[in-house]
Amino acid sequence: MGSALGNNMNASKPAASNPKNTIYSINQTTSKKGNKPHFVELIDEVTSMPVNNRLKEVRHDHRMNQTEFADFLGLSIYQYNRYEKEARQPTLEIALQISEKVKRPVNDIFYLTEEAPS
């Protein structure tokens, strides 16, 4: 992958409506016509999997309504509601903070669709 003549950079090509993202290596060697990369090499395909959560179950375990639980987590009710309904995904930092506050491993709360319990 790549040449000893130049540096390799990884660039992610965004997926339009395709659930697969393709990662390319751009060989930064100089072509005779200028200083532009002269080929792009396909490296790998990465399948994106939706992240789901068990926030509602965790909230019920704490015997709180959404407003109380959002307050407990230090989130606005609007933000928490969007996470619980999976309309938005929390950042990694927020997911880890939630995990700490409810004293459960992060992967007990957030999981990839293919990892859901049967």
Summarised one tens digit per residue, pLDDT across range 18-65 is 445 555 555 555 555 566 555 555 555 556 678 999 999 999 999 999
> In terms of domains, do 57 and 91 share one?
yes
Q: Comparing 42 with 84, which gets the higher pLDDT?
A: 84
Residue 64, both tokens:
């709180």
Cα atoms in the Cβ-side hemisphere of radius 13 Å centred on 47: 4
CATH number of the domain that residue 102 is part of: 1.10.260.40
Element spanning 59, H or E: helix 55-61
Contact (Cβ atoms closer than 8 angstroms) between residue 101 and residue 80: no
Provide the number of structural domains found in the chain. 2
What is the span of the domain harbouring residue 16? 8-47
58 and 104 inside one domain: yes
- Interval 65-83: pLDDT, tens: 999 999 999 999 999 999 9
Q: Is residue 84 part of a domain?
A: yes
The answer on 81 and 37 residing in a single domain is no
